[in-house]
Amino acid sequence: MSHHQPAVALAECDESALDPLDGGPRRPASGYVVFVGVGMGGPLQLTLAAVKVIAEADVLVCNPGVDEGLLSEPEVTVRPRTLVLTADERPDLEKVAGFAKSGSTVVWLVTGDPLVDGEAAPLAAALRDLGCSIDMVPGLARATLATTLAGVQLGPESLLSSAPGAVHANQSVVALVTTDQLEELTDRALGSGWSPEEPTLLTLGYASRAQRSIETTLAHLPEAAADADDSNAAVVIGPAAHRDPALNWFESKPLFGWRVLVPRTKGLSGVLERRLEQHGATPVQVPTISVEPPRNPQPMERAIQGLVDGRFQWIIFNSANAVRAVTERLAAFGLDARAFSGLRIASVGSQTRYALKSWGIIPDLVPEGEQRSEALAAEFPAFDEVLDPINRIFLPRADIAVEALASSLNELGWEVEDVTAYRTVRAAPPPADVREGIKGGRFDAVVFSSASTVRNMVGIAGKPHPDTIIAAIGPATVAACEEHGLRVDAVSERPGMIDLVDALADFAAHRRDDLVARGEPVRRPSQRRARRHK
């Protein structure tokens, strides 16, 4: 996960904001601005080239419509000192050109594809007039996302148009509009000779996990969206509107459209949320634990100084919060990943590896199988006076962590500097609408990844409604749910985040099959409750 500087408005910064980026001279002025297409959603729509360019940026400019939260996703690396700017509808291009011509790498993020969707074209032309060279990284265009996620197979004869005119036989048209433009679109198509009975596919809220596709005819297009809120709509008119059911892959995902609560440590996200998204769900985080600095910062300060001075042979990270605590202290001293040079690094857990990866670090030792401190201790090498020049290990941990790992390492001949790097406290209650949604059954499911998340969420937000599906990661978490009177619907076979989400997805798939077999409509758990109370 990237921990970059907070975004500031482009209009409110100047070139002096880049002074702390490095202590050496500026690179020769290249004057390059790189436009990067980021699709319409999260990091799964980024190309590898986009991820690489973002990681190398000195200045990141987010165009209107680009969610700055994208930069904090685990798959995206942003250097801690990168200047993140948000542009308005009329950005100060001379200021951007000044950043580029001073030798900084300027990366400008735009939705969709830079040229197919048109956002970059006027900006690039103006920057060229200001003496900048332009580079571009293609992205997933809106039309591509709209049709592929709707399961539409377009042929080479298909057209993209918001005003369909006369067409040839077997030709299809794709129009990206808003719902309030559907009637005008219909009138134009009928006025151009299209048949009122022409097959038409309307996808509301396209390229989101709330999208909904409706098969209709051209004449009935406006009324098909009668109950829809104002939103983006993709309309396919012509033969391509006949979808092959096998290609309706997105909306048929087992958790498609489900809003799933994820109680967890404040500020963390990663593999669990990504897996939920892959199954079609929208994860909604509920922070249950807040991470705070240690009450006495001096031991941590001494340990960080020792890390820089080469006093340790190993550093062991057993949580993403430990990585965050150490790297934030290093960044505060003006240091980066080079401070770990010469150290051997061990880590436990996928979230921990994500956090290390954001600093460009690949650990030397990761336990195989179960990701627990005990597994790491079982695989850790014993101290060898001949091969190991230093016998000290830096172990940054939480204030409530047990000392079993340190004891095991001591038995292997290592001297462990066991330091409280952070402390955990119960988070503040979530906003009132979230609490009401939890109690009122407006969420479809909740995934509990530990017994403490059960206790903390119930303590700060109340118990989930009986209609809410509950997934638990293992026996201890199931027991905590039962202690609070919660029915557990899905339990992962193995104690892993991916296994937990897959167990929920399997439950949802079987639930859907049962509803179909009984001839009942397939609705999400939250929809069943809403309909029952109408």
How far is CA 115 from each of CA 45, 123, 143, 258, rounded to the nearest angstrom? 17, 11, 12, 33
Could you count the other beta carbons within 10 Å of the beta carbon of residue 214?
15
Judge if 220 and 136 occupy the same domain: no
Smallest CA-to-CA distance from 288 within 467, 505, 462 is with: 462
Whole domain around residue 195: which residue ranges? Answer: 144-247
Q: CA–CA separation, 136 vs 422, rounded Å?
A: 42
- Domain match, 414 and 466 both: no
Tell whether 381 and 468 lie within a shared domain: no
Contact 414, 391 (CB under 8 A): yes
Residue 356 sits in a domain of what CATH number? 3.40.50.10090
Q: What count of other Cβ atoms lies within 10 Å of the Cβ of residue 287?
A: 21
Residues 6+ apart with CB under 8 A from 298: none
Q: By the 8 A CB rule, do 366 and 356 touch?
A: no
The verdict on 82 and 97 lying in the same domain is yes
Which parts of 473-534 are beta strand (E)?
A: 490-491
Domain end position, chosen among 101, 119, 140: 140
Measured in degrees and rounded to the nearest 5, phi and psi for residue 390 equal: -135, 145
Closest among 335, 286, 283 to 309, alpha carbons compared: 335
**Does residue 288 contact residue 262 with C-beta atoms inside 8 Å?**
no
Q: State the DSSP code for 206.
A: T
**One domain, residues 487 and 514:** yes
C-alpha–C-alpha distance, residues 192 and 190, integer Å: 5
Q: What is the pTM of this model?
A: 0.75
Domain count within the chain:
4
**485 and 516 inside one domain:** yes
Q: Given this model, what pLDDT does residue 2 score? A: 53
List C-alpha distances in Å: 434 to 208, 260, 440, 443, 530: 21, 12, 10, 9, 16
The verdict on residue 99 lying in a domain is: yes
Specify whether 406 is located in the same domain as 465. Answer: no
Let me know: does 105 contact 32? Beta carbons within 8 Å. Answer: yes
Residue 19 tokens read as: 């002074």
**Do residues 190 and 217 both lie within one domain?**
yes
Strand partners, 37: 110
Q: Are residues 447 and 464 in contact, defined by beta-carbon separation less than 8 angstroms?
A: no
Per residue, the 3-state secondary structure of 396-441, as one string, reads EEECCCCCHHHHHHHHCCCEEEEEEEEEEEECCCCCHHHHHHHHHC
Question: Are both 167 and 131 inside the same structural domain?
Answer: no
Could you tell me if residue 254 is inside a domain? no
Q: pLDDT at position 533, please?
A: 46
CA distance 287 to 264: 5
The answer as to whether 2 is a domain residue is no
Q: Which helix (H) or strand (E) holds 437?
A: helix 432-440
CB atoms < 10 A from the CB of 279, how many?
20
Residue 240 placed within a domain? yes
CATH of residue 205: 3.30.950.10
Give the relative orientation of helices 350-357 and 320-332 as an angle to the nearest 10 degrees: 20
**Residue 366 belongs to some domain of the structure:** yes
Q: What is the CATH number of the domain that holds 91?
A: 3.40.1010.10
**Does 357 share its domain with 392?**
yes
- Within a domain: residue 505? yes
DSSP-assigned states of every residue in 46-72: --HHHHHHHHT-SEEEEPTT--GGGGG
In a domain, 95, yes or no: yes
Domain end, chosen from 426, 454, 471, is at 426
Closest CA to 34 of 132, 118, 168, 116: 132
Domain check: are 18 and 52 in the same one? yes
Is 384 within the bounds of a domain?
Answer: yes
pLDDT of residue 30: 58
Which regions of the chain are under pLDDT 70? 1-5, 14-30, 157, 162-170, 230, 266-269, 369-371, 400-402, 529-534
Statement to judge: residues 455 and 496 lie in one domain: yes
| Local structure of 481: helix, strand or coil | helix
pLDDT at position 24? 43
The tokens of 108 are what?
Answer: 């400008």
* pLDDT for position 248: 92
Assess contact for 289 and 266: CB atoms under 8 A.
Answer: yes
Question: Which of 92, 120, 140 is a domain's end point?
Answer: 140
CB atoms within 10 A of CB 89: 6
| Residue 283 dihedral angles phi and psi, to the nearest 5° | -75, 140
Strand partners, 19: none
Nearest Cα to 4, choosing from 54, 43, 42?
A: 54
